[in-house]
Structure 1
Amino acid sequence: MEKGSSARAAGSDHTININKSRRKARMAHCIPLAKVSFAVGAVLGAALPASAQESEAAAERQIDEIVVTARYREESLQDTPLAITALTADALEARGFNELQDIGASVPNAYIRPAHAAYAGAPTIQIRGVGQQDLLFAFEPGVGVYIDDVYHGTLFGSSFDLMDIERVEVLRGPQGTLFGKNSLGGAIRVVSKKPSGSRGGFIEATYGDLDRLEFKGSYDLPLIEDRLFMRVTGVSKHRDGYQDVLDFTCQMIANGTPELAGIGDGLGADGPDADTLPDPVPVGSPEDNAFSFPQYVPAGQGCKLGERGAERLAAGRLMLRFVGNERFEASIAADYTDDEQTPPPSYLVYPQIPLAPGSITTYNANAIYRTYGIRTDIDDRFVTGNPYATYGTFGDPFTGRFLPAVVKFEGWGVQGTIDYDLTDRTHARLITAYREYDGQTVRDDDETPFPINNIFYVIGHEQFSAELQLTGSLIDDRLEWTLGAFYYTADQVQAGEVQLGDLAFLNIVPHFQQNDVFDTENTSAFAHAVFHVTDRLSLTAGLRYTDESKSYGFDHGVFLRIDEPAKAGLSRVDWKAGVDYRFNDAMMVYGQVSTGFRSPGFQPRPFTPIQLLPFDGEELTAYELGFKGDLFDRRLRLNTAAFYSDYSKRFVGGAGARQCSAPTEPSDPVFDPICPPGTFFEGTTGISWPLQVVAPAEVYGFEAELTYRPIDRLTLNATAGYIRFEGEIDDPTQQGYRHPDALVQPEWNASGGIQYAIPLGSAGMLTPRLDWFYQSKMTFGAVTRAPLPEETIPGYSVFNGRVTFEPQEGDWSVAFSVTNLTDKFYYYNLFGNGPTFGGGQKGTPSRPREWAITFQRRF
């Protein structure tokens, strides 16, 4: 190819480039289709420059072109008929985005949030209402995450540090024909900077609130001039937590209410039976105070046992790139990450939320008293009154058995890529990769000092993938085609300890050890083509065949062991068809129809063997219309899209199933609101469990992204997204019903930013930037009923600020940044146990206002 060698020398992705001279020549011709009445073209046509002459000042105001490879070839973002948000390294730095979970704030209809305490180590990643927040391997992600075109197969460990990257591409809507597995909601592509032999790099140091200390660095050098290049990158992070873990008894003494911890309450250990309080004993007597909740920290030492939200991370990457000649190059990359955190902050917002008629709470107050010396249901004494403090300790203080209060991820991977030009118009690429990680996570669902519902997971994952891509062009470059094959296999284990103390009190579910094994294999083949009918009109078509098989081995010891692994799988074909029309060099409209799927599986948390039921995967047909325009002499960029997703099968979530029998008499799940006569829990709601079901549904909405440079050195940007879910089952008593007020993600999200570079004469440049992020209300809890106020997070706005100084002489910069400028308090998410597990509601509190100063030296 004509551009092959230059692309390699620049270190960019080696893909077939659009022949831009061919495209410009086509644009010069007038064709009858240009007379088609597109209203947007008529209105915005006046925004084009009247003359091709551009002054130097005007050129500086123009918005930079961004090159993406979302269709396996280099294209301008504005020439790609897809809904894509592309954030370059400079854009990420200006906004202070350091991790993958940060980018969701700037992407319309993306909902990416830090992990909450129930699924520590696994961020919530959703696009257009499709995603996942549960870390169990029985579920599949709804958004594909790719690191240098290698699929990351699990949600756990997906909060990558964005170190030394070229850009992040967020593709919205089904990407099944090109990306395949689990890209129903979209795909996120992280593209690293490639070695180029530049003998350049950077070092960076950050210090900030909570003893934040970070170091980053990268260096690029030639090992063999013009042939072999190497790039080395590393990062180290440390930051203290932002929530304190308190000693409950110590705090009760400090509050002047020791009787709430069983000290001086006048109750001892003896009584006639478990349902009767013991006889009173003298207040303060040895019999009284000997039977109270243990204390670990003296009241005079602040009552602090530990903290949550702390982080220690070390990661590195080594990349080698060999350029044999103009047709051949190969690269290999290896990376390693060691990430250790304390569990995410979690706060008991409500000890009890209102219960539905007939609901039962399996907390046994007298049993708690017999064990811990406190005669109580879960009440306000366990609410610290400060969202940045909790009594949750991940263990049993009476027996001294505590789960490790740490979340770990240690992983490494290696990948190799070979690029070869078979002909001047045909290119081959082979990508193979192996990745593995080990991790652990812990959860305290009740956020009390009791071991009522504590879980400790040990997680292991190994995956191998290989993808062959052939790209080329025919018919004088009018037909651009891609063929490919993909293979993926993964072995996963999830072990650990589950403490369900609340159910154990009823002798229903004992504490147990789990050792679950999951295996997946996926093989697919795909084809994609773009045919330029005229200079302005293009047609797109794609097909993908997928064959996938899975096995699930559930082993919960004597509690639940399945002799034969449960199996699931599918074979299916997905397709895509699209058309795009260019009014001129600056404006384009497009429309497309595509299908997508998410793999089927099995119920992730069965209580009895009969509850190990399969659930179908998701299937949809998605429709999208979009507009892309660079207006006013390329000083204003406006990209919009409207979409409609028709689900024949969509996950509803917990479908209101309940277990009405005792474990000795397992029964099918009951979907009636009340357990029937003759069952263990007759007349009540029984024990709820999250049976996953699918049902028809519709999701629709729109998105807009705008960048504007009205004057020199001033940049404005804004995004907005709206999404609405509608279920097709209107009967609340029917399986698969979802209440219309139970949101799949916030209906609205928006962002805005303003940045102005202020010249300081010979001193240099000062660039302040202000960012605003907004989301409307979000609901949690049971989806089969209207959400309670206690299950709703109101809409909120967050502001971040950053000021950067760069001297006129010298390759360095210093930046001062503040996140959450107004110290706005909100919850990232809420997590309720429901009546089965005590009825409490927990929330992950937002990070408070934090400052940081960053120094960077480039060389």
Structure 2
Amino acid sequence: MTTTTRKHGLLFGASTAALLMATAAHGQTINGHPQPQSPSADAVTPEQSAPAVPDKTSPASAAPDTGSESQSTPPGDAVSTGDIVVTAQFRTQRLQDTPLAITALNGALLESKGASNILDVANAAPNVTMRQAGGANGGAAQVFIRGVGQADSQFAFEPGVGMYVDDVYYGTVFGSIFDLLDLDRVEVLRGPQGTLSGRNSIGGAVKLFSKKPESGNSGYVEAAYGRFNRLELKGAANFELIPDKLMVRVSGVAKRSDGYFKRFDYGCLNPNSGVQSSASGNCQTGEEGGRNFQAGRLALRIIPSDNVEVNLIGTITSDDSQVAPQKLRDITTRANIPAGIDPRIFIPGAEDRFSYATYISPAFTDPARFNGIPGAGAHPAVALQPNMRLRAKMISGAIDWDLSDDLTLTSITAYQHYTGSNATDIDLTPYGLNTVLSTYRYNQFTQELRLGGSLLDKFLDYTIGAYYFKSVGRFEGANYNLPGLANENIYASNDRIPSESKSVFAHVTANITDRLSLIGGLRYTKDRKDYSFGRLNPFFPNLPSYTSAGQINGVTGSYRGNSVDYRANLQYRWSDQLMTYVQFSTGYRAGGVNPRPYVLDQAVPFDSERLQAYEVGFKADLFGRVLRLNGSLFINEYSDILFNNQSPTLTSVLNSTPVNAGDAQFQGVELEANIRPLDGLLIDASGSYLGFDFKRIGAAGATITGISLDNRAPFAPEWKGNLGMQYEIVTNGKGSVTPRFDISYQSSFFPQVDNDPRARVKGYALVNTRLTWMNDDRDLQVALTISNLLDKYYDISALKYPIGVVSATPAPPREWRLSVRKSF
């Protein structure tokens, strides 16, 4: 239900004790399933190593510590002789026993691939795309799984893919480009998580788990230098303060680099063009794409008794990076551009990495139609700093309490706070047609309670729980849109967006036989979100905007909704080598209110989206567990799918209104393989296909210019694949050398549903490589990493704006990085 009304006038939350890695003992039983025997360590599954798997998450059953970091993880152990353990179904399970489409990667494997932040995870997971947003959405991670995600950084939208750090949900896409700091593992769950994880996620979930404090004293320090004056320093230290009772882990990272994208003064480069110049010398006015990032984490692990474990984590982040690069692709407006100058002269070459952006809104005088309105008149030029700024803090705490041998209570509490800003020169010309400053403030509190256990001699495994989410976002800044023209829209935002979500859930597994399990899940969710608009005069902030935006000042829009989601799964293990499953599940994403109305009649709500997912899959360990092969096939029925409408309305040529456009279907196939044919040789690969069909375009969707039943969904490449290979060569007394190559491919996609060919992002293939030397004691490592080895030009993303501008975000060129790591 939605309504629109007018008004006048510490980090405390949690990483659970479920953060347990395990190496399955050969022949043991885990979660009621017999485990395959392995003839030798050399023939075991090609996956990440971990300690022995407990049958539930609790201190009493926690696996023992695996030893100190005095020895670095060998490159060959990044995909090694054990089984990774995941907690996707609220309890610890082997990945191969989990009847979900899930990709799990440990920190060592990601390091061997040269991954540095969460965006780098996407290459290893089928039907998963993660990219850095640019332009008006700068500072956000655009994460899509099976075609479902969220590209807009505004607080009005719920993420389509849930992002979690140590089991704590991150409620916005702005600020979600997480660094892989002291990472234990990443779990990427594909498909709706309506009955799993902390909050409803319609498309899937990405869950990062940091390393927990452990017994003993250990740590590491790493320094690196690379292209574009890249400097990095990171490290971690683990201390056991009270044996088996109190442990602490401190980790941190600092990164800086110059930008790989240039800004130039067009008039300086072209003195006879008629374009005024304000630069001299080499005509360069700035850079984009550079980094200045620092983060730190403090983790405390307390075990006061055999049946209680407490984990406290505090994280702080500081980011003062340059904005994400934006390059002009096309411009159709001539507004504010002097006669005789074709705006297309500001479009760079197809493979150039530069723009003529100034980040300046020029001085102007309002047209006569605004005469007599308070605040109208002559206004000075405004210059923005082209930076992306973020200050974030999170405190989380988890308590795991074994009430009995078969009953565990888990509490996860978290508080998050961040402030941030991002500047955008949307037109990318010297004339300041549209310049935007976006400022974010956000506070979030979450609480999750879970009670899990077993009944009837482990015939039933169950989890019941409740989840509470509350946030308050503030969106501020200023939009200088077509200044000085009759249809100008000038305003300063002062928006408040409170949100609340409550849910209860239950998850039950019936182990009917040692091989057959029936799984069910149910969740009830109740959501509310308000959006209160402030539309003020950026030159006189005590006055409402004198343009049409001023009519929106004081308006509040509201969304209220609820959903019942469920999951039914039938899992069968045909043999020690093969497990299959069939599943039906639902997903839901709450609605909201259009955050970017240019006129009053665009301040309208939008409804929730819903998804029904049908899936079959298998997980196999073949040829004496030399080959691991996992696959899935799915059909997703998507109702009331949300798209952005930029078509002019009767009252405004500017429009950016989200509408529930209709119904659609995604269908796809996914395959993942890990191979260890001989000692030291490791191969990992994945591939996926994603199809999309519009089933119905509703009345609201039909108003989108260019939409048709033949169009493709945004951010949904049809084909995606990767192949990685590494081989550890052991020398005689001189350590080991490990070369690794990774090749990834994704086909083309469109960033918007109108499929405007000017904004199409072409498909591309990338090659990355890494060469690692490690000494015999395994405590010293030197690595050379080269990304984009073939120096391929490609765009990360693109975007079409309502003022008639199309821009793109170019990816970095070839980069190299030399690192040295010492463990102790």
- Which band: TM-score by shorter chain? 0.7 to 0.9
Matched with 2:791 is 823
Amino acid at match of 1:803: L
Give the Cα–Cα distance (whole angstroms) in 2 for the partners of residues 568 and 410 of structure 1.
Answer: 29
Q: Look up the match of 2:818.
A: 853
Cα distance between partner residues in 1 of 2:289 and 2:441: 23
Q: 1:807 to 1:776 in 2, by over 3 A?
A: same
Matches of 1:527 and 1:688, distance apart in 2? 42
Structure 2: gaps of 5 or more residues? 1-15, 47-79, 364-379, 537-544
Aligned position for 2:456:
475
* Residue matched to 1:276: none
Q: 1:124 to 1:11 in 2, by over 3 A?
A: closer
**1:159 paired to 2:177:** yes
Shift of 1:14: 6.5
Q: Tell me by how many angstroms 1:92 deviates.
A: 0.5
Alignment CA distance shift 1:655-1:457 (3 Å):
closer
CA contact (8 A) 1:630 1:638 kept: yes
* Distance change (3 Å), C-alpha of 1:330 and 1:24: closer
Q: CA deviation at 1:536?
A: 0.7
User: Structure 2-normalised TM-score?
Assistant: 0.87
CA distance in 1, matches of 2:649, 2:111: 51
SS of 1:368's equivalent in the other structure is coil
Q: Is the 8 A contact 2:18 2:87 kept in 1?
A: no
Q: Specify the alignment match of 2:197 in structure 1.
A: 179
Q: Aligned partners of 2:595, 2:125: CA distance in 1, in Å?
A: 31
The alpha-carbon distance between structure 1 residues 65 and 449, as it changes in their structure 2 partners (threshold 3 A), is: same
8 Å CA contact 2:645–2:655 kept in 1: the answer is no
Q: Which has the higher contact order (CA 8 A, sep 6+)?
A: 2
Name the structure with the higher strand share. 2
Higher helix share: 1
Q: 2:759–2:808: 8 Å Cα contact kept in structure 1? A: no
Instruction: Work out whether 1:390 is the aligned partner of 2:346.
Output: no
Give 1:761's match in structure 2, choosing from 732, 755, 758.
732
SS in 2 for 1:90: helix
Match of 1:751 in 2: 722
1:72 to partner: Cα distance: 1.5
Alignment counterpart, residue 569 of structure 2, candidates 578, 586, 598? 578
How far did residue 543 of structure 1 move? 0.5
Separation in structure 1 between the aligned mates of residue 283 and residue 674 of structure 2, nearest angstrom: 51
Q: For each residue in 1:456-507, what CA deviation from the matched residue of structure 2 results, as whole angstroms up to 9, or x when unmatched?
A: 0110000001101111001111110001111110011000110102xx4442
From the superposition, tell whether residues 164 and 687 of structure 1 become closer, same or farther in structure 2 (CA, over 3 Å).
closer
Alignment of 1:531 with 2:498, yes or no, is no
Query: What is the deviation of 1:232?
Result: 0.3
Question: Residue 649 of structure 2 corresponds to which residue in structure 1?
Answer: 659
**Aligned residue in 1 for 2:343:** 378
Is residue 108 from structure 1 mapped to residue 126 from structure 2 by the alignment?
yes
Tell me the secondary structure at the aligned position of residue 696 of structure 2.
Answer: coil
Confirm whether residue 546 of structure 1 aligns to residue 515 of structure 2.
Answer: no
Equivalent of residue 309 in structure 2, options 302, 310, 329:
329
Shift of 1:82: 0.4
**After superposition, where does 1:591-606 map in structure 2 within 5 Å?**
591-606=582-597
Aligned positions of 1:388-787 closer than 5 A: 388-396=353-361, 399-501=380-482, 504-557=483-536, 558=545, 559-651=550-642, 653-655=643-645, 657-661=647-651, 686-729=653-696, 734=702, 738-744=708-714, 745-781=716-752, 783-784=753-754, 787=756
Deviation at 1:564, TM superposition (A): 4.7
TM-score, structure 1 normalization? 0.83
Q: Equivalents in 2 of 1:561, 1:158: separation in Å? A: 30
Aligned to 1:344: 324
SS in 2 for 1:485: strand
1:588-618 deviations in Å (ceiling 9; x for gaps): 0001101110111112211111211111111
CA distance in 2, matches of 1:127, 1:387: 30
Question: Is 1:13 matched up with 2:31?
Answer: no
Contact 1:494 1:515 in 2 (8 A): yes
CA contact (8 A) 1:11 1:193 kept: no
Distance in 2, Cα, partners of 1:27 & 1:550: 44
1:18 touches 1:74 (CA, 8 Å); kept in 2? no
Cα displacement (A) at 1:21: 7.6
| C-alpha deviation, 1:659, in angstroms | 1.6
Deviations 1:421-449 (A, max 9, x none): 01110001101111100000111111111
Question: Structure 1 residues 174, 386: closer, same or farther in 2, change over 3 A?
Answer: closer
Given residue 120 of structure 2, which amino acid in structure 1 is its aligned partner? D
Q: Is the contact made by 2:299 and 2:311 (CA closer than 8 Å) also made in structure 1?
A: yes
- Tell me the distance in 2 between the aligned counterparts of 1:843 and 1:53: 51
Give 1 or 2 for the bigger CA radius of gyration: 1
Alpha-carbon separation, structure 2, partners of 1:527 and 1:780: 37
The aligned counterpart of 2:273 is 259
Residues in 2 aligned to 1:622 and 1:238: alpha-carbon distance in whole angstroms: 43
Q: How many residues align?
A: 744
Deviation at 1:59, TM superposition (A): 4.9
| SS of structure 2 residue aligned to 1:380 | helix
On the 8 A contact 1:17/1:73 being kept in 2, the answer is no
- Equivalent position of 1:812 in the other structure: 780
The answer for unaligned runs of 5 or more in structure 1 is 1-9, 29-47, 262-292, 353-360, 663-685
- What is the distance in 1 between the residues matched to 2:745 and 2:297? 34
Q: Is this contact kept in 1: 2:215–2:244, CA < 8 A?
A: yes
SS of corresponding position for 1:645 = strand
Q: Is the 8 A contact 1:659 1:689 kept in 2?
A: no
Contact 2:329 2:347 in 1 (8 A): no
- The letter for the 1-side match of 2:501 is N
Q: In the TM superposition, what whole-angstrom CA distance separates every residue of 1:712-738 from its partner, at most 9, and x where no partner exists?
A: 211111101111111112699945854
Identity of aligned residues (%): 36
How far is the alpha carbon of 1:742 from its aligned partner? 3.0
Shift of the alpha carbon at 1:114?
1.3
Displacement, 1:260?
Answer: 3.1
- Aligned runs of 1:90-169 on 2, under 5 Å? 90-169=108-187
CA contact (8 A) 1:628 1:640 kept: yes
Q: Does structure 1 conserve the Cα–Cα contact (< 8 Å) formed by 2:346 and 2:356?
A: no
**CA distance in structure 1 between the partners assigned to 2:478 and 2:697 by the alignment:** 40
Secondary structure (helix, strand or coil) at the match of 2:108 reads helix
Deviation readout 1:170-199 (Å, 9 max, x if unpaired): 000011112253411100110011011320
What secondary structure is seen at the aligned counterpart in 2 of 1:108?
coil
Cα-to-partner distance string for 1:347-406 (whole Å, 9 max, x where unaligned): 112334xxxxxxxx4x33xx533xxxx643412245367621111111135554211211
Moved more, 56-65 or 822-831: 56-65
Give the partner amino acid of 2:403.
L
**1:239 Cα deviation (Å)?**
0.7
Deviation at 1:688, TM superposition (A): 4.4
The 1:554–1:55 alpha-carbon spacing in structure 2 relative to 1, beyond 3 Å, is closer
Conserved? CA contact 2:597–2:655, under 8 Å: no
Match 1:297 to one of 276, 279, 282 = 279
2:66 corresponds in structure 1 to: none
Distance 1:592 1:343 in 2: 43
Distance 1:236 1:656 in 2: 40
Tell me the distance in 2 between the aligned counterparts of 1:12 and 1:533. Answer: 25
Alignment-mate amino acid for residue 512 of structure 2: V
- Picking from 216, 238, 257, the partner of 1:220 is 238
Equivalent residue letter for 1:792? R
Matched, 1:74 2:92: yes
- Aligned-pair distance for 1:573? 1.1
Please give the alpha-carbon distance, in whole angstroms, between the structure 2 residues aligned to 1:127 and 1:447: 31
Who is 2:800 aligned against? 832
Do residues 368 (structure 1) and 358 (structure 2) align? Answer: no
The verdict on how the C-alpha distance between 1:97 and 1:18 changes in structure 2, with shifts beyond 3 A counting, is closer
Look up the SS of the partner of 2:678 in the other structure. coil
Q: What per-residue deviation string (whole Å, max 9, x for no partner) do you get for residues 285-341 of structure 1?
A: xxxxxxxx2x3321xx21111100111011101111111121011121111000111
In structure 2, the CA distance between the partners of 1:379 and 1:441, relative to structure 1 (3 Å rule), is: same
Quote how far apart the aligned CAs of 1:795 are. Answer: 1.5
The CA deviation at 1:695 is: 1.1
Q: Structure 2: how far apart are the matches of 1:27 and 1:566?
A: 52
Deviations 1:409-432 (A, max 9, x none): 001111111111011100011011
- Alpha-carbon distance change, 495 to 227 in structure 1, aligned in 2, over 3 angstroms: same
